[in-house]
Copies of this chain bind each other. A is one copy, B any other.
Amino acid sequence: MNGPVFILKGNIIYSKEINKFTICEHGYLVCRDGYVEGVYQTLPFKLGGYPVHDYGDCLIIPGLTDLHIHAPQYSFRGLGMDMELLEWLEANTFPEEAKYKDTDYAKKAYKIFADSMRKSATTRACIFATIHRPATLLLMDLMEKTGLDTYVGKVNMDRNSPGYLSETTKESAEETLEWVKDVYHRKYENTHPILTPRFTPTCTDELMEELKKLQMRYQLPLQSHLSENQSEMAWVKELCPWAEIYADVYDRFGLFGADCPTVMAHCVYSDDREIGRMKENGVFIAHCPESNMNVSSGIAPVRKFLEKGLHVGLGSDVAGGSSENLFRAMAHAIQASKLRWRVQDDSLEALTAEEVFYMATKGGGAFFGKVGSFESGYDFDAVVLDDSRFKSPRPLDIRSRLERMLYLADEREVHAKYVKGKEVDLS
């Protein structure tokens, strides 16, 4: 499968539009030079002679994009969940992240994280590391080896952080600069730097200004958190009384998508003005439904984001979310939207399987370019799912089999995975 052209055969299912699956049963998916050439029910004559990998009755879907995940938090996924956001940060997150100052610990922990990501159905991810430059580079080395294509960010924190996990403004700016230089020296193929101010409560205005300079110098994308939780919102209002909407705390510094691609996690409490600003600036939203449940944040108005034409993808947000498995995120997105419709606001209809699948593939994939679909010219990211573990007394159509994956699939179903035309080693 290493030649410029190869072909996968199976039950191909992907999204062109948000509310419809495109299905080609027992079809052919053609890769040329790392890009999708096309999907064919019958293989065109001109493609005869190229290698065909026949995956039988498996499903073949585009790779999934995780728009928001914290690598250092993987070590405490599913732990200490009986708390709200700010308490949870103090009690679980900060003490754990401080350990990544120790590169031996980081190596051990990040190896576990990278292995899990490699075996999952995820092909693209936006990843938070910690404030530590050496450990962040180590994580990038490990992610590069997985074959996944990812953005990884050294975190910035220069205020309201415990002494054991804090930088001065100067340190934070300098270390970030050094880290970016280190990254360019390492010439990764699939691993890219992304600016990562943790969130406004831990970043001074001065630091934001420094990050903007860096962004302009290196054309760096940016990831952060936005309007996640009510206590956090109140804190931001206190810290930045000048901000009319939460988004201002980034936008004032030019760090809200105006110049470089930007992804904001959560947006549970984004109002119409904030939604408008995200639309204008092309900001991506990482919807993280399980995390929003686990740390009692609430339910984001995703239907409204979609109606307004915003870019929306899904995030596992480990360890606010408990698993890197994005199928779970899809199910949780549907479930949360149903509860929102039922108990909060019945003007916004629940999300469908089609919509959340789109978000997990083409929606979030767009942050990486033409990614997340099998339309011609897209990067060849494909996941082959063997769902034979789920025995059924009756035959199921392809759409049903995919819907079932949202609720039940995990890494056991991932039979093969390709990123930009290269097969990932799942062993």
Contact = CB atoms under 8 A, between A and B. Distances in A.
Interface string A54-95: 000000000000000000000101111110000000000000
Given A108-B393, A294-B335, A407 B82 contact: no
Identify which of A82, A293, A393, A403 gathers the most chain B CB atoms within 10 Å of its CB.
A393
A350 B407 contact: no
Contacts of A109: 393
A407 to B, nearest CB: 3
Contacts of A294: 334-335, 338
A87 B405 CA distance: 22
B342 A297 contact: yes
Given A78-B404, A82-B352, A296-B350, 9 more contacts: A75-B394, A82-B334, A108-B393, A112-B392, A112-B393, A293-B339, A296-B342, A322-B408, A344-B344
A392 B108 CA distance: 9
Contact of A79 (B112, B322, B340, B403): B403
A84 to B, nearest CB: 9
A82 B293 contact: no
A82 B298 contact: no
B400 A79 contact: yes
Contacts of A342: 296-298
A350 B105 CA distance: 34
B340 A343 contact: yes
A396 B77 contact: no
A298 B75 CA distance: 33
Interface in A268-302: 290, 293-294, 296-299
Nearest 10 A/B pairs, CB to CB: A78-B407, A322-B407, A109-B393, A78-B404, A293-B335, A296-B338, A108-B393, A112-B391, A343-B344, A82-B352
A229 to B, nearest CB: 9
A290 B105 CA distance: 37
Interface in A321-345: 322-323, 331, 334-336, 338-344
Contacts of A353: 81-82
A406 interface: yes
A108 B335 CA distance: 30
Contacts of A343: 298-299, 339-340, 343-344
B105 A393 contact: yes
B341 A81 contact: no
A299 B341 CA distance: 12
